[in-house]
Amino acid sequence: MLKIKVGILGAAGYTGGELLRLLVNHPNVDLVFVHSNSQAGKKISAVHTDLLGDTIVCFTNQIQLDIDVVFLCVGHGDAKKLLEKYSFPNTVKIIDLSQDHRIHSTENSEFVYGLPELNREKIKQSSFIANPGCFASAIQLALLPLMEKKWIKSDIQINATTGSTGAGQSLSETSHFTWRTSNLSVYKAFEHQHLKEIGQTVKGFDGSFPHEIVFIPQRGAFSRGILASLTMKVDKNQEELMNCFESYYRSHPFVHLSRQAIDLKQVVNTNKCVLYLEKNGDRLLIVSIIDNLLKGASGQAVQNMNLLFGLEETTGLKLKAIAF
């Protein structure tokens, strides 16, 4: 059986912890090192206590270069610095979960944008993957079939709510339990950083896309998950739209179309995206739900690793939703 030698940089936070939970149970992974300056010397299970009994690996502040792939689970801005500091051999594949390499430029064009439902074949041929953002994943998966057909006839209005884990592990006023519980708030209206990723993808389909994308993000009083609702004008009927989406996602194992209204618990603790379409006159509503830590981050990173190494895309990702 193929064994992939894996290293992780920055595994003490929410995203790194979720990646560890997937990798310690992945049948094709040999976890070589888990790097964290703040937790060096501690057992992984002392920080991520749910992993007690699953692994005896300890955090380290040492980097090993004899690996097959390294995951960068560090803060935005830090991934580029680490790649400048550590010279990994050309044989090492890199999956960056930060936003440092998501936007194309001549400077970082070697990184492929790691949304498998958009770039599966490019990912398979690449060595450097820029894992998408969580909001960007949920929203783009709602738009890809329409963008391919060029069926959107108006501005796109988006309202999306994320759980508290989307804010990361560092404490702030808006991540404290006493502030967050029984509360709801808007933040970064019209200017969230994930708009750049979404706009980049839209331009990839239609460089002259004439409509505006209006995005209003919200903080929800729950731990994990994203529910995004998108509205726009489309001059196709319900069945034409359903057929379009079903055709686009037929070969993609993690995106599913529901013919009844959906709720967030259907996808929490899974790598799924579930979509629901509803037509009202000439307006289309699309609801998209994902787990922000899995399909929005670590699960998608493992999905990309599977593609890079020729494994079945779902390996290690057949997860159970919480449901209740």
Nearest to 263 by CA among 233, 229, 305, 234: 229
134 annotated active-site: yes
Stated length of the chain: 324
> What spatial distance separates the first Cα and last Cα of the chain, rounded to whole Å?
36
User: Catalytic pick from 73, 134, 244, 273?
Assistant: 134
- Which residues does the annotation mark as catalytic? 134
